[in-house]
Amino acid sequence: MSKNHKRDAESGPLEEFVTVIIADQLFGLPINRVSDVFMLTDMTVVPLSIPEIAGVLNLRGRIVTAIDMRQRLGLPPRDSDETAMAVGIEMNRENFGLVIDRIGDVLHLPINDFDANPVNLDPRWKSVAQSIFMLESELLVILDVDRVLDLGDREAAA
Amino acid sequence: MDDLLQEFLTETVESLDVVDVELVKFEQDPNNAEILANIFRLVHTIKGTCGFLGLPRLGALAHAAETLMGKYRDGSPVTGDGVSLILQTIDRLKEILEVLEEAQSEPVGSDDDLINLLDAMSLGEQAAASVPEAVPAMETPADSNAVMGEMAGDDGPLNIVVRDLKPGEVTLEDLERAFNEAPGPDDMGPPPLPDMDFSTDNEAVPQEAVAQAEMAEPVPVPSKETPAVAPEAERRAKDDRRQEERRAEPKKAPVNQTIRVSVETLEQLMTMVSELVLTRNQLLEMVRKHDDSEFKGPLQRLSNVTAELQEGVMKTRMQPIGNAWQKLPRIVRDLSLSLDKKIDLEMIGAETELDRQVLEVIKDPLTHMVRNSADHGLEANSDRAMLGKPEIGKITLSAYHEGGQIIIKIVDDGRGLDAEKIRAKVLSSELATEDELDRMSEGQIQKFIFHPGFSTAKEVTAVSGRGVGMDVVRTNIELIGGTVDLISVVGKGTTFIIKIPLTLAIVSALIVEVSGQRFAVPQLSVVELVRAHGEAGHRIEMINDAPVLRLRNELLPLIYLNKQLGLEPSPEYKDAKGGKEFVIITQVGSQTFGIVVDFVFHTEEIVVKPMSNMLRDISMFSGNTILGDGSVIMIIDPNGIAQSVAADSGVQAAVERQAAVVQASVREDLTTLLVFSAGSDEPKAVPLSLVTRLEEIDNSKIERINGRDLVQYRGKLMPLVYLDDYDPASRGDKPRQPVLVFTDDDHSMGLVVDKIIDIVEDRLVIEIQSDIPGVLGSAVIREKATELIDVAHYLPKAFDDWLDRKDRPNGGNMQKNLNLLLVDDSSFFRNMLAPLLGSAGYHVTLAASGEEALSLKERGINFDLIVSDIEMPGMNGIEFAEKLKFDPDWGDTPIIALSSHAEPDIIEKSKEAGFHEYVGKFDREGLVETLREVRVGMEEAS
């Protein structure tokens, strides 16, 4: 809470973001929404589920529903042998895991400097991207966690 | 304030429920001072709290009810009207509480109607309470110190005034209104003052209050003060209230030491414990790999503690089923009044515990069913008297644990379900065709009451028949994996049997595999497991691409789980014809079907976890769970599968029709036959009921002594016999020999056969009688001409003394053979039983019908014993027996009934008709034994 009120002299309030890499694109997730980061092992595929749901797994006694972020973003499936990672998110007392390729750094970013989504962004991305931040080397897509997890809507739209 | 009000609501609603129950008890046992004291205390607490929170309507009502109860406590006679009135008051209280919960304030309205009645009743009671009582009542303060203290204590001056004005308590209303209006004149209804007063006071009060309360203790109860001193009195009232609470506390403590914990906290605990169990399992697994780990000891302790903890947490979820029954005595009482029937409700096993989730679900169905029993099930008292039943109808509710389930029975001794009426109703509402109904048993027809859109109530009464039918009851019960069944005998009553799982949180499940993935199938819906393979036995067949399984006499539709789940068949998975697969026979409601899976592993107690919201729309799964090895698997929902079966295609209907036909034929005289071959190629058969065991005997073990083949069998020598046209040499060099073992008492005989072909259930019609000894005749079984072997012919071959056995009637002391008449329309049975009875020493005369038997009587022939079949065309056994009952010649002859239907009502009827004993048709030993007993009885009588 206090973080949000902490004022940087020049660029306004800072917010912390966990960055993740999905298909070489950098994404940012608000750190207060991320509960943990874990390796994706022993996942059970759920028959008849929508393709975005990668499966379910047991994370310390809790059943976590894993969302395949590549599917969610309409990207091709991963071909690496490396164990995928997931970012744990809690919503409505349920546990979800966003399946990503790799985890990046935690960044402090001034929220006043965020840019709106460009108009030509893929509608699927647009529906989950909150804003864009221009890092020196690349662009960071800030994800809206609630919208990422709102799979019903996407289906209706599609 | 909100919290406080919430707590008040919960507590008060609970108290009122208790009062409900207690009052009904009290009505029946008006002298029980303990019950009354309990009720009084509860109502008093409610009243007190109402005053405290500023709820005048509730307070006034409770007060009026309390006054009447006070009269009862003082010895006034308890009347039904009085109790009814109090119960009504409690209902009103509940109504107000409901509104209060939603609106956070009392609804506007008047309860003068009830209060006036209550007051009038109190006055009346007082008058009735006779003179000696009246005097102390007038000077109430002396009446009972404690009570007075309490009474005066909480409502403050109001009560006191009332006491003073006795017996003119009617003025209470006016006074109260005046009092309420005094502090806040422009406020309507509820007084704002106590409210505000309280909230400002709230934080500061506790210590102060205690102190004051202590001080207040010796102070005499304030009395005879005018309401004008309201603020002061109110303050004191509050103090007294605290005091009262403190006083009430120790009274309660030893009875019920509980605290309130939110369900959420418990659920969370449950989750944590599940997690702990899992972690423990993982640790155990790790330590198991190292034989001499130093962790072993502590881990064992951890393991035990965890198990106990799990059990403990599970217990917190358990509640006695009595909680769901709590309202029933009241409901039945009210019903009994409105229907003008006297009803006795007995509840057994109220302490039986089950999961609170389950409890919630069955509460309403149970209430509904009890209501039904009272309304439809039981006859009016006068009718009962005419029928010779006890005037008061009885409903018995019982619950007990059995094999991980809870069995709840609702039994009434009413009129029972009239199958004819149900039939007519089924026809008129087109739930089934006449043809279909003809094929159903009475029991099946009765079960139509669970059918949606069915209600037997002739008219809609205030009590039931309001559209919530037994189908809803069934749906609710099935929803939690339970079943409901009924047994009803016209004129005797109806029994409903509900079986429900103990808990929804932990279920026993079958772990299966399909397409390389594991799933859990709740065991409750599993009827049996069948291994289907290509050869004889269970085989998967196709009807127009719809897979079906023949299981005994039913044709079951099959569902391939992998197809339902959209999974690719695993490589080792063979096609339907050649592969071996496991079929899980599953029953959902009335629907039975088989789920085909690749493997079945074992059963496991699984903790059911709800599916994620994102996956909840998949109807095939009811939840998911974490297995002991830590992996997550889906729990199959048989209901979901059943729906998809029903929706699958018209094939289902065809299958159902066929199944119905098969079933219908089952009810005809079916005989289970063992088909085998021996000697010649043509199949031979014996009724399976005659065969004790099927054995395979090592050929090398067969010994030949005195020209007989013997084999050591269960510590004895068993003779082997061969069919007459059988050449033992044809046995060849087979190492093992199949043998049918027939046992009679301690004699066993082995009938040597070549091969056991099948066991079939079929309608047995002997088409060609046989003159060959040892063969009864030929019949068509499985579309093949089959010889029926007369076992009785072979018995003497095995034992020369088979005919000299102890069960011969003249086994020493009786020299003459008894004459026995055997009446049976089936030549098969006549042929089978005659030699048997003959070998038991009776001189048997046969008759093919009752008429034929009577003609023997006309001819003046007498018998010592008669054995008669019940089901016969023309004159049946019952009619036959009735004809003989008062006959001068045959009236004294013992007559024994023979029937393949062992239904209680038939046994009952046969006894009424004059049969002495009743024996199942295939129970040979029973028949011989019964005959001997009857004979002994005859000897003793003579």
| Any domain includes A110 | yes
| Any domain includes A152 | no
**Statement: residue B165 has pLDDT above 70:** no
| Any domain includes B201 | yes
Q: For residues B729 and B737, which has the higher predicted lDDT (pLDDT)?
A: B737
Residues B527, A84: Cα–Cα separation, whole Å: 42
**Statement: residue B268 has pLDDT above 50:** yes
Picking from B328, B326, B335, B382, the residue whose alpha carbon sits closest to that of residue B84 is B335
Taking contacts as CB-CB distances below 8 angstroms, the residues of chain A near B275 are 60-62
Q: Residue B28 maps to which CATH number?
A: 1.20.120.160
State the total domains in chain B: 6
| Any domain includes B877 | yes
Residues B421, B488: Cα–Cα separation, whole Å: 14
| Any domain includes B679 | yes
User: Do B893 and B932 reside in the same domain of the chain?
Assistant: yes
User: Do B489 and B442 reside in the same domain of the chain?
Assistant: yes
Residue A57: closest C-alpha in chain B: B632
Residue B633: closest C-alpha in chain A: A44
Residue B130 zone, left/alpha/beta (φ > 0; ψ -120 to 50; rest): left
By the 10 Å C-beta count (0-12 exposed, 13-18 middle, 19+ buried), A21 is classed as: middle
Q: In the predicted model, what is the mean pLDDT of residues B293-313?
A: 84
Measure in Å the smallest separation between the Cα of A120 and chain B Cα atoms.
Answer: 30
Q: Which residues contact A19 (CB under 8 A, 6 or more apart)?
A: A26, A27, A28, A29, A103, A104, A105, A106, A107, A140
| Any domain includes A158 | no
pLDDT category at A47 given cuts 50, 70, 90 is very high
User: Do B313 and B329 reside in the same domain of the chain?
Assistant: no
| Any domain includes B823 | yes
User: CA B544, B550, B554: angle at the middle one, nearest 5?
Assistant: 105
User: Do B234 and B286 reside in the same domain of the chain?
Assistant: no
Q: In the predicted model, what is the mean pLDDT of residues B494-515?
A: 83
**Angle between helix B33-53 and B2-28 (nearest 10):** 160
H helix or E strand, kind and range, residue B693: strand B693-698
Residue ending a domain, among B475, B501, B527, is B501
**Statement: residue B139 has pLDDT above 90:** no
Residue B217 zone, left/alpha/beta (φ > 0; ψ -120 to 50; rest): alpha
Q: In the predicted model, what is the mean pLDDT of residues B400-426?
A: 83
B156-170, B488-502, B693-707 — which one is most confidently predicted on average? Answer: B488-502
In the structure encoding, which two tokens stand for residue A142, read together? Answer: 């800030």
pLDDT category at B368 given cuts 50, 70, 90 is confident
Please say whether the beta carbons of B839 and B795 come within 8 A: yes
What percentage of chain B exceeds 90 in pLDDT? 3
User: Do B236 and B130 reside in the same domain of the chain?
Assistant: yes
User: CA B462, B468, B469: angle at the middle one, nearest 5?
Assistant: 105
User: Do B650 and B756 reside in the same domain of the chain?
Assistant: no
Touching check for A51 and chain B: CB below 8 Å? no
pLDDT of residue B729: 62
Q: What is the ipTM of this complex?
A: 0.85
| Any domain includes A6 | yes
pLDDT of residue B578: 47
Whether pTM > 0.80 for this model: the answer is no
| Any domain includes A156 | no
Q: For residues B166 and B929, which has the higher predicted lDDT (pLDDT)?
A: B929
pLDDT of residue B828: 66
Residues B639, B479: Cα–Cα separation, whole Å: 8
pLDDT category at B471 given cuts 50, 70, 90 is confident
Please say whether the beta carbons of B369 and B377 come within 8 A: no
Q: In the predicted model, what is the mean pLDDT of residues B216-232?
A: 44
**CA distances in angstroms from B798 to B31, B722, B748, B756, B839, listed in the order given:** 76, 10, 9, 21, 13
By the 10 Å C-beta count (0-12 exposed, 13-18 middle, 19+ buried), A153 is classed as: exposed
Taking contacts as CB-CB distances below 8 angstroms, the residues of chain A near B276 are 61
Cross-chain CB nearest to B626 (options A45, A48, A63): A63
Buried b (16+ CB within 10 A) or exposed e, B801-816: ebeebeebbeeeeeee
State the total domains in chain A: 1
pLDDT of residue B519: 94
Touching check for A117 and chain B: CB below 8 Å? no
Touching check for A98 and chain B: CB below 8 Å? no
pLDDT category at B198 given cuts 50, 70, 90 is very low
| Any domain includes A154 | no
Note whether A46 contacts B633, CB cutoff 8 Å: no
The range of the structural domain enclosing residue B748 comes to 670-798
For B542, other C-beta atoms within 10 Å of its C-beta total 11
Buried b (16+ CB within 10 A) or exposed e, B476-500: bbbebbbbbebbbbeebbbbbebbb
pLDDT of residue B796: 67
What is the DSSP-derived secondary structure letter of residue B677? E
- pLDDT, chain B, mean: 73
| Any domain includes B510 | no
Q: Please state whether beta strands B865-869 and B895-899 pair in parallel, antiparallel, or not at all (unpaired).
A: parallel
Residues B774, B122: Cα–Cα separation, whole Å: 90
pLDDT of residue A88: 94
pLDDT digits 0-9 by tens, B526-572: 888 888 765 556 777 888 778 888 877 778 888 889 888 888 776 55
User: Do B790 and B825 reside in the same domain of the chain?
Assistant: no
Helix (H, G, I), strand (E, B) or coil at A36: strand
Residues B924, B184: Cα–Cα separation, whole Å: 92
**Of the candidate ranges A83-97, B276-290, B394-408, B663-677, the one whose mean pLDDT is the lowest:** B663-677
User: Do B280 and B167 reside in the same domain of the chain?
Assistant: no
User: Do B544 and B561 reside in the same domain of the chain?
Assistant: yes
User: Do B329 and B292 reside in the same domain of the chain?
Assistant: no
| Any domain includes A155 | no
**Statement: residue B801 has pLDDT above 90:** no
Q: For residues B155 and B532, which has the higher predicted lDDT (pLDDT)?
A: B532
To test the contact with chain B by mutation, choose from A42, A48, A71, A154 the residue with the greatest count of B C-beta atoms within 10 A, namely: A48
Looking at residue B418, its amino acid is D
Q: Residue B555 maps to which CATH number?
A: 2.40.50.180
Q: In the predicted model, what is the mean pLDDT of residues A115-144?
A: 90
pLDDT digits 0-9 by tens, B852-907: 888 888 888 888 888 888 878 778 888 888 888 878 888 888 888 887 666 777 77
Q: Residue A54 maps to which CATH number?
A: 2.40.50.180
Note whether B613 contacts A92, CB cutoff 8 Å: yes
pLDDT of residue B281: 74
Residues A132, B394: Cα–Cα separation, whole Å: 76
pLDDT category at B36 given cuts 50, 70, 90 is confident
| Any domain includes A132 | yes
pLDDT of residue B723: 79
Cross-chain CB nearest to A94 (options B567, B612, B621): B612
Q: In the predicted model, what is the mean pLDDT of residues B428-454?
A: 79
User: Do B233 and B87 reside in the same domain of the chain?
Assistant: yes
Taking contacts as CB-CB distances below 8 angstroms, the residues of chain A near B612 are 56, 63, 65, 94, 96
The range of the structural domain enclosing residue A78 comes to 2-145
Cross-chain CB nearest to A65 (options B271, B517, B614): B614
pLDDT of residue B403: 64
pLDDT category at B919 given cuts 50, 70, 90 is confident
User: Do B841 and B776 reside in the same domain of the chain?
Assistant: no
Residue B758, phi then psi, degrees to nearest 5: -170, 165
Residue A41: closest C-alpha in chain B: B631
